[in-house]
Amino acid sequence: MDRTKENSSLKTVGIVKVVVLAAVFLIYMFPFYMLLLNAFKYKRDIIKMPLSWGGKNGFTLNNFAEAFQKMNFMTVFLNSVIITGVSCLLIILFSSMCAYIFVRKDWKINKFLFLLMLFSMVVPFQVVMIPLISIYGGTFGILNHRATLIFMHVGFSMSMSVFMFHGFIRGGVPIALEEAAGIDGAGPLRIFFQIVFPLLKPTIATLVILHALALWNDYLLPSLILTDKALYTIPIATKLFQGAYSNDMDLLMAALVMAIIPAIILYLALQKYIIAGVVAGAVK
Amino acid sequence: MNRIKNSITNNIGIFLVFAGPAVLAFLAVIIIPFIYGIYLTFTSWDGISRNKPFVGMANYVSVIKDGPFWSSLGLTVFYVIIAVLTVNAVAFALALLVSGKIKGSNFFRAGFFTPNLIGGIILGYIWQFIFKNILVSIGDTLNIAFLQKSWLSSSALAFAALIVVTIWQYSGYMMLIYIAGLTGVSEDVREAALIDGCTGSQVTRYIIIPLMRSSFTICIFLSITRCFMVYDLNLALTEGGPFGSTTMAAMYVYQKAFSSKQYGVGQTEAIILFLITAVIAVTQTMISKSKEVEA
């Protein structure tokens, strides 16, 4: 008797929870929905009746075609892909090698550098922003190169990546395997790439997800480094597009949809890994 | 003798190959600019000329006298307090709702996290459209007075708009951390409390929250440090307006350096902003760490 009562009250609680969640979910999705709703409308309809499904003048794909062209979407998309991709690759390679030697070699300089990296994690970008521009723009004059931005992305990502690899290697990579390989005559590089690196997969996946998200969306640093139109990334191009076409709501809607589509597609495909990676990155 | 020498060169070689690229990039991008940045606070530089005249403490004096800087800093502190409280309250509530045996719980989780995939600039423009067009249109249709005028045209409401978008942006991320914490609280402890006669809300208040202190420590630390440095969203949603009334500290520093060309003063203000953030974040972490309960 009591059991059934308890069960049914638990069920009601469950239903209430789902209803509340569904309502909150709709609120969270509302901006995306409104964006999508208006991206296919004519300009007049967006301004006069942004809430209606379809406008007086019907639907159009023209917004996308025009925004695609005016934003140079193919170029900026490729720039974003190159910068994010190459940076992630180098970050993983350099930070895993560095963390490995920090764990395995008990040298004073390693301990000192590791501490320095830990300390640097509290330094926000804004503190080094002005000196960075002064050094790389004023003294060296090497702004406006993808390579410069990639180098900086790598530098800014080192501390956190080395820290995470360091924890994983110390706790999860047995030294016995390496010693056996060493006795068989393998050099340190070969030991690292053939034995250690494949074992790092979980941390590699986490770091690639975290850095890819952060670098893909980064605006401030790229906007300071890349001022040449041919080098713009998606966030920079969106910012300038908004400035130039703030009266052309139709184009702006289409541009915003195009700017978020790559991330959304990847998310739909890799959702489970992305969520797991973000949690792993935050909790460590 | 030769052997020792050989092993030293060998070790230097290993260090350079393995740690060389990482250390070089790290030093060149963070440590050297950080130290050079401290030097810059004693110089005056216009961003173009080759020489940076040494001016002693002059920048610090002008920062003290720079009223707009302190008011933007005050506004930022206010924003951080409200944002941190609301983001974490919403995130924790969502985590409580989503965890447990709920149909479609993974679907909801994934949905709430979606805003984190998109950068602040693009989010800002999407919401600008919502505040300027959609909400006004809803206000007109339903005759709701406080929606009929765009929130972004009044300073108090533009500030509220920043808070709303910040909650929307970060709560899904913090929710994931709270969910991870909740799954760490064992089912046995919860059930024991329920059997002992606790109500559901008492279990949350006296059992779950104390056992989840470390999740709170992480989330509050992350939200403090992120909100203090808010820039992208500020730039895209309000551009500091109306009439500069929502200019947060990070944006103020940017303008000081890159628009007013007072790099020395800008750098000094950046360092002051950093010190304040660091002191607050470290104090908060120490206080809440000391209250953490071992399960």
Phi, psi dihedral angles at B174 (to 5 degrees): -65, -35
Q: Compute chain A's Rg from CA coordinates.
A: 25
Same domain, A54 and A17: yes
How do residues A59-69 score in pLDDT, each as one tens digit?
888 889 999 99
Residues A38 and A120 in one domain: no
Instruction: Verify that A136 and A25 share a domain, yes or no.
Output: no
CA distances from B220 to B98, B214, B216 (A): 20, 10, 6
HEC-encoded secondary structure of B147-192:
HHCCHHHCHHHHHHHHHHHHHHHHHHHHHHHHHHHHHHCCHHHHHH
Q: Clarify whether residues A19 and A144 are in a common domain.
A: no
**Do the chains contact at A105 and B15, CB–CB below 8 Å?**
yes
Inside any domain, residue A262: no
Which tokens belong to A68? Answer: 């695609």
| HSE-CB for B280 with a 13 A CA cutoff | 20
Cα–Cα distances in Å, from B98 out to A251, B111, B124?
37, 11, 27
- Looking at per-residue pLDDT, the higher value among B204 and A11 belongs to B204
Question: Nearest CA to CA, how far is A37 from chain B (Å)?
Answer: 11
Question: Does the beta-carbon distance from B19 to A101 stay under 8 Å?
Answer: yes
Within a domain: B35: no
Q: How far is A20 from chain B (nearest CA, A)?
A: 8
Q: B114 vs A189: CB contact, 8 Å cut-off? A: no
pLDDT at B277 over 80: yes
**Which of B73, B226, B76 shows the shortest CA–CA distance to B159?**
B76
B105 or A29, greater pLDDT: A29
Domain check: are A170 and A86 in the same one? yes
Tell me whether residue B50 is in a domain: no
pLDDT grade for B295, boundaries at 50, 70 and 90: very low
Of A42, A61, A80, which residue constitutes the final position of a domain?
A61
Structurally, how many domains does chain B consist of?
A: 1
Of A151, A238, A253, the CB nearest to B122: A238
Binned at pLDDT 50, 70 and 90, residue A284 comes out as low
The verdict on A85 and A199 lying in the same domain is: yes
* Residue A60 DSSP code: -
Mean pLDDT of A48-54: 79
Among B30, B117, B267, whose Cβ lies nearest the Cβ of A156? B30
Mutate to test the interface with A, among B63, B112, B127, B129 (most CBs of A within 10 A): B129
Looking at the structure, do residues A91 and A215 belong to the same domain, yes or no? yes
Whether B60 shows a pLDDT value over 80: the answer reads: yes
Chain B hits for A127, CB-CB cut-off 8 Å, are 34, 37, 270-271, 273-274
Q: At what angle do helices A2-39 and A249-283 cross, to 10 degrees?
A: 140
Of A165-179, B47-61, B101-115, give the lowest mean pLDDT range.
B47-61
- Mean pLDDT, residues A125-150 taken together: 91
Give the CA-trace dihedral at A111, A116, A118, A123, to 10 degrees: 180
Tokens 């779950």 found at: B208
Hey, are the CB atoms on A94 and B25 less than 8 Å from each other?
yes
A266 lies in some domain: no
Question: Could you report the per-residue pLDDT of A236-272, keeping only the tens digit for each?
Answer: 999 998 888 888 888 999 999 999 999 999 898 888 8
| B130 with A275: Cβ contact below 8 A | no
In a domain, B98, yes or no: yes
A51 and A145 co-located in one domain: no
- pLDDT tops 80 at residue A9: no
B156 pLDDT above the threshold of 80:
yes
B23, B37, B232: residue with CB nearest A127: B37
**Is residue B48 a part of any domain in this protein?**
no
Domain span at B246: 59-290
Q: Is residue B100 part of a domain?
A: yes
Chain A CA closest to residue B132: A47
B192-215: b (≥16 Cβ within 10 Å) or e: ebeeeebeeeebeeebbbebbbbb
Asked if A53 and A75 sit in the same domain, the reply is no
What was the ipTM of the complex prediction?
0.89
Contacts of B29 in chain A (CB under 8 A): 128, 132, 151-152, 154-156
Domain, as residue range, for A30: 2-61
pLDDT at res. A7: 66
Q: What is the interface size between A and B, counted as CB pairs within 8 Å?
A: 246
Which residues does B252 contact at the CB level (< 8 Å), separation at least 6? B68, B69, B72, B73, B269
- Check whether B195 has a pLDDT greater than 50: yes
pLDDT in tens, B25-49: 999 999 999 999 999 999 988 777 7
Residues 6+ apart with CB under 8 A from A203: A164, A165, A168
Query: What is the mean predicted confidence (pLDDT) over A118-131?
Result: 90
Of A30, A151, A220, the CB nearest to B231: A220
Residue A112 falls inside a structural domain = yes
Indicate the pTM of the whole model.
Answer: 0.90
Residues from chain B that touch A206, judged by Cβ atoms under 8 A, are none
B104 and A134 in contact by Cβ < 8 A? no
If you average pLDDT over residues A203-231, what whole number do you get? Answer: 93
Across the interface, of B129, B250, B263, the residue whose CB is closest to A134 is B263
Q: Is residue A267 part of a domain?
A: no
Tell me, yes or no, whether A178 and A53 share the same domain.
no
pLDDT over threshold 70, residue A48: yes
**pLDDT attached to residue A238:** 92
B54 bridge partner residues: B43
pLDDT of B101-141, one tens digit each? 777 888 999 999 999 999 999 999 999 999 999 998 898 88
Q: Say whether both A45 and A166 belong to one domain.
A: no
Q: Across all residues in chain B, what is the average pLDDT?
A: 89
What are the percentages of helix, strand and coil residues in chain A, rounded to 5? 80, 0, 20
* Confidence bin at B293 (pLDDT 50/70/90): low
Q: Residue A145: pLDDT band by 50, 70, 90 thresholds?
A: very high
Look at A97 and B19 and tell me if their CB atoms are within 8 Å.
yes
Q: Does residue A66 lie within any of the structural domains? A: no
- What's the pLDDT score for residue B193? 85
Position B204 scores a pLDDT of 83
Total domains, chain A: 2
How near does any CA of chain A get to the CA of B197, in Å? 14
Nearest of A124, A114, A128 to residue A161 by alpha carbon = A114
- The Cα–Cα gap between A152 and A87 comes to 9
**What residue of A is the nearest CA neighbor of B220?**
A282
pLDDT digits (tens, 9 = 90+) for B199-232: 878 888 888 888 888 889 889 989 998 999 999 9
Assess if residue A104 is contained within a domain. yes
In a domain, B79, yes or no: yes
Residue at a domain's end among A27, A61, A95:
A61
Residue B209 included in any domain: yes
> What does the alpha-carbon distance between residue B269 and residue B261 come to, in Å, rounded to a whole number?
14
Closest Cβ opposite residue A155 in set B11, B25, B179: B25
**Residue with tokens 């502190």, as numbered in its chain:** B77
Average pLDDT over residues B171-189: 88
**pLDDT score for A6:** 61
Q: Are residues A49 and B137, on separate chains, in Cβ contact within 8 Å? A: yes
- Chain A nearest-CA distance from B84, in A, is 17
Q: Which of A127, A252, A275 to mutate to test the interface with B (most CBs of B within 10 A)?
A: A127
Highest mean pLDDT among A117-131, A248-262, B77-91, B216-230: B77-91
Place of tokens 């992208």: B232
Mean pLDDT lowest for which of A211-225, B6-20, B161-175? B6-20
Position A68, amino acid: F
Mean pLDDT of B241-254: 91
Q: How far is A180 from chain B (nearest CA, A)?
A: 19
| CATH code, B245 | 1.10.3720.10
Can you give the pLDDT at residue A1?
42
Res A243: pLDDT: 86
Evaluate whether residue A44 is within a structural domain.
yes
In-domain check, residue B207: yes
Range scoring the smallest mean pLDDT among A201-205, B98-102, B251-255 = B98-102
Residue A4 has pLDDT above 70, yes or no: no
Residues A141 and A52 in one domain: no
Torsion of CA A72, A91, A146, A241, to 10 degrees: 30
